[in-house]
Amino acid sequence: MSVRIGVVGSVNLDLVASGAPLPRPGETVTGAQFAQHPGGKGANQALAAQRLGADVFMAGRVGSDALAESALELLRKDGVDVSAVMSEIGQSTGVALIAVSPDGENQITVASGANARVETHDAALLPGCDIILCQLEVPIEAITGASTRAQETGAMFAVNLAPAIAVPQPLLETMDLIIVNEIEAAYYGEAIHQGEGLVALTLGGDGAALFKAGQEIARAPAFNVPVVDTTGAGDTFCGALCVALAEKQAPEAALRFASAAAALAVTRPGAQPSLPWRADVEDFLAEHA
């Protein structure tokens, strides 16, 4: 029986210009290639978890515009339950403007649209799950509602603190799993280690580490792979780590699984199109045993 993961988060359409140098302030660059993909940190993490073997339920908002169906296309196609994704009349679907350099680095500007209208009660639309996963591209009130829903149903409450914004300390301390990169970890400092939950820290080329009460309890090295596009790699890690922990994998094995999934994601262009399937990750791990 598959683990069940609920996601409260953002749904975007990614508009991607790739292959040209990233512009400096005030600079225009040419020669890029254009592509359009479904995205949003919430939707990315939901799809990642679904492809990696979980049954995933998504709560969020899209606009009442022509972009909504495109933004939800891959979630529907791959079996994510989007019955709790509401259409917000008079609002636009969230859009991310993404520039990707020839070496795979990116710059992202997000127009939140309907994602800014996700509310406290949206999490109540989720069924009982093993884990409820959130990010910070929706209002803090929605995260608070997800925390309450997790407590009511006995779910593990996981939050990817990205993008880094102020979060009340009492809310931080309700989180059973916090996921941050080095920039986000520096922003929050010791505040993320004050609760009783786990903190997963991604370290780029140095892999990932897992902490409890400020003490490192597990570490996994990074995998050396050719980088095509880093967009979505962090979201893949989040979805994969939640799947692994929900399956009761040991901390080091869970980190290694999540790191392998993220490594595969950077070898392909786009966010959601690059997300690996469970068989891909298991084959990759077997090759790197």
**What is d(CA 145, CA 219) in angstroms, rounded to the nearest whole number?**
32
Residue 51 near residue 78, CB atoms below 8 Å = yes
pLDDT per residue, tens digit, the chain (289 aa), is 799 999 999 999 989 999 999 999 999 999 999 999 899 999 999 999 999 999 999 999 999 999 999 999 999 999 999 999 999 999 999 998 989 899 888 898 989 999 999 999 999 999 999 999 999 999 999 999 999 999 999 999 999 999 999 999 999 999 999 999 999 999 999 999 999 999 999 998 899 999 999 999 999 999 999 988 887 899 999 999 999 999 999 999 999 999 999 999 999 987 888 899 999 999 999 999 8
Q: Which residue has the tokens 């008079």?
A: 90
Helix (H) or strand (E) holding 279: helix 278-287
Q: What structural domains does the chain harbor?
A: 4-11+40-93+114-287 (3.40.1190.20)
What gap in Å lies between CA 259 and CA 265, rounded to an integer?
10
Catalytically active residues, by annotation: 235
Strand order in the sheet with 94-100: 33-39, 12-18, 94-100, 106-111
Burial environment of residue 238 by CB neighbours within 10 A (0 to 12, 13 to 18, 19 or more)? buried
Quote the pTM value.
0.93
